[in-house]
Amino acid sequence: MYRPSYHFLPEKNWMNDPNGVCWYGGKYHLFYQYNPTGDEWGNLHWGHAVSEDCVRWEHLPAALYPSREEGEVHCFSGSASVDGALPLLYYTSVGEGERDSACGAQQWYAYSEDGMLTWKKGKENPLLTGEIHRDMEVLEWRDPFVWKEEDGWYMVLGGLSEGRGVVLLYHSCDQKHWEFLHVLMRNACEGEGTWECPNYFKLGDKAVLVYSPGSRGGMPCYFLGTEEEGHHFLPSEEGVIDHAGWEGFYAPNSFVDNRGRRIMLGWMPENARGDLVVPGWKGVQSLPRELFLKDGRLGMRPLPELVSLRGEREEVVDLAPGTCWQAGTAGKALEILAEFDTEQVNGVLEIDVFASEDRRERTTVRYDRQEDTIFVDREKSNAEGLTSRKLLDCGRLGRPGHIRLQIFLDYSTLEVFINEGSVISARVYPSGKDSDNVFVCGAQARISKLEIYKMNSIW
């Protein structure tokens, strides 16, 4: 009853971070942190799936297994490198005792000779050990993100050094021998934990650094700036990739596809009480989103291919102020597009989804004009089951004149794109069978356009 229908998830068991997402051999490949033996975090392998459109996925056998004979217990997160002679997967190898994730992580690789079906670990492993930093101590060192430039391959890794989250930069001429260049970015604040899963890439004439912090609700953030001589990063802007963090979007991984688009997916963790979540599986991958530059900041929109999932449609133009209007379309797998002028909202405008007929249970996407923000309010969404922050918001919007919301719901996921700039993703666990209604409420709010689509399953 909570299993999404048009989001990627394995048939069963535990999944967390997306890993090594790439375009290779005419297909999209998605790898992910996977426990094949249970529905809790542990025994981490890399699961694998392929897709022709980055929307509909086909499961493949797991790609990476821990090499127990080498003392490896987990294959932690990493990325794919598809521009060398063979496709490679770079990942963090973790064991026990001296090889634990806090102090003894190593960076390993695997290669495929059959077009990414099966993978062998490279004989040169470990490729990078902590010694590469000489006198500098780096704890929680993990999540290699690799790309190619004219003079070879580059890698960033996340970690914790002198009590601050860091992203470190490395270089290799042959993909196997690596040298440490410098710290690319360091948290200005102390005591906020490590920085995980860095992504570093160029977007137009800008350089972008994304990281997932071990604090502040786990909200993945970005710096946007320029790359200076000697691969030094000079940030000029900061922003949030997704305002949900551990409530719905963490550890994103991005790549460039054959059409030159920078696409990103993130892990949507479960955050309900254990007895609420159906045993057997945990974790969902977010919808793929495309990143672009927008008014000097990072823009994000759902991948246009998602339109192909749209089914039955309801459209209302100019929804006049009133108390509560109930849509004719009901469902737990919907896309809702809502447009309004903020001048036309006096007070608040609320869109209830996953709502029971009597609205006792509901999840509310609320525009609050005075607060100048959008909230995702989970107070009434089977909130007893939720263990964490029930009210999420996207920060100040800067009083835009017009707002366009793209809202995706899928049984237990909710993703809200706001003017293709901010995103709030959340997990929601509607308890009632009839908790599938949509209401628009706002005594003094006018909506210029509302479209509701039933979304088809990808399986």
**Nearest distance, CB of residue 211 and ligand DQQ, angstroms:** 10
d(CA 185, CA 194): 12
**Alpha carbon distance 67, 64 (integer Å):** 9
Beta carbon nearer to ligand DQQ, 17 or 361 = 17
Token pair of 71 as six digits = 């003392």
Nearer to ligand DQQ, 193 or 299 (CB): 193
Known catalytic residues are: 17
d(CA 12, CA 10): 5
| Member of 39, 196, 270, 377 binding ligand DQQ (CB under 6 A) | 196
Q: Compute the distance between CA of residue 27 and CA of residue 160 in angstroms, rounded to an integer.
A: 35
Q: Which of 21, 44, 185, 386 binds ligand DQQ (CB under 6 A)?
A: 44
User: Which of 77, 79, 107, 406 is close enough to bind ligand DQQ by CB under 6 A?
Assistant: 77
Q: Contacting ligand DQQ (CB under 6 A), which of 17, 39, 242, 335?
A: 17
CA atoms within 13 A on the CB side of 405: 32
Q: How big is the site for ligand DQQ, counted in residues (CB under 6 A)?
A: 13
Q: Should residue 92 be labelled a site residue for ligand DQQ when binding is judged by CB under 6 A?
A: yes
Which residue number, 139 or 383, has a Cβ lying nearer to ligand DQQ? Answer: 139
In angstroms, how far is the first alpha carbon of the chain from the final one? 16
Of residues 33, 79, 161, 199, which one binds ligand DQQ by CB under 6 A? 33
Backbone phi, psi, residue 298, to 5°: -90, 120
Q: Is the CB of 87 or the CB of 213 nearer to ligand DQQ?
A: 213
**Beta carbon of residue 35, minimum distance to ligand DQQ (angstroms, whole number):** 9
Tokens of 34: 């996977």
Q: Are the CB atoms for 76 and 101 separated by under 8 Å?
A: yes
| Between 10 and 442, CB nearer to ligand DQQ | 10
Q: By C-beta, is 31 or 76 nearer to ligand DQQ?
A: 76
Cα–Cα distance between 12 and 158 in angstroms, integer?
29
Task: Give the neighbor-by-neighbor strand order of the sheet with 206-213.
Answer: 195-203, 206-213, 221-228, 232-240
Q: Least distance in Å: CB of 16 to ligand DQQ?
A: 5
CB nearer to ligand DQQ: give 17 or 393: 17
Q: How far is the CB of 142 from ligand DQQ (least distance, A)?
A: 5
Q: How far apart are alpha carbons 341 and 267 in whole angstroms?
A: 33
For residue 436, the minimal CB distance to ligand DQQ (Å) is 31
Q: Of 167 and 345, which CB lies nearer to ligand DQQ in the complex structure?
A: 167
- Going by DSSP bridges, is the β-strand pair 281-282/13-24 parallel, antiparallel, or unpaired? parallel
Give whichever of 267 and 408 is closer to ligand DQQ, judged by the CB atom.
267
Least distance from ligand DQQ to the Cβ atom of residue 340, Å: 36
Query: By the 8 A CB rule, do 258 and 197 touch?
Result: no
Measured CA distances, 273 to 246, 270, 386 (Å): 14, 9, 6
Q: Least distance (Å) from ligand DQQ to the CB of residue 208?
A: 19
Asked if 106 touches ligand DQQ (CB under 6 A), the answer is no
Closest approach of ligand DQQ to the CB of residue 181, in Å: 21
In 3D space, the residue among 195, 154, 194, 70 whose CA is nearest the CA of residue 120 turns out to be 70
Span 290-349, contacts to ligand DQQ by CB under 6 A: none
Query: In residues, how long is the chain?
Result: 459
Site for ligand DQQ in 236-295 (CB under 6 A): 250-251
What span, in angstroms and rounded, lies between the C-alpha atoms of 334 and 359? 18
Q: How many CB atoms lie within 10 A of CB 381?
A: 27
CB of 212 to ligand DQQ, least distance (A): 6
Is residue 142 a contact point for ligand DQQ (CB under 6 A)?
yes
Contact criterion met (CB below 8 Å) for 445 and 320: no
Which member of 8, 9, 16, 268 binds ligand DQQ (CB under 6 A)?
16
DSSP, residue by residue, 138-195: -EEEEEEEEEEETTEEEEEEEEEETTEEEEEEEEESSSSSEEEEEEEEE-SSSSS--E
Q: Are 165 and 192 in contact (CB under 8 A)?
A: yes
Residue ranges in contact with ligand DQQ by CB under 6 A: 16-17, 33, 44, 76-77, 92, 142-143, 196-197, 250-251
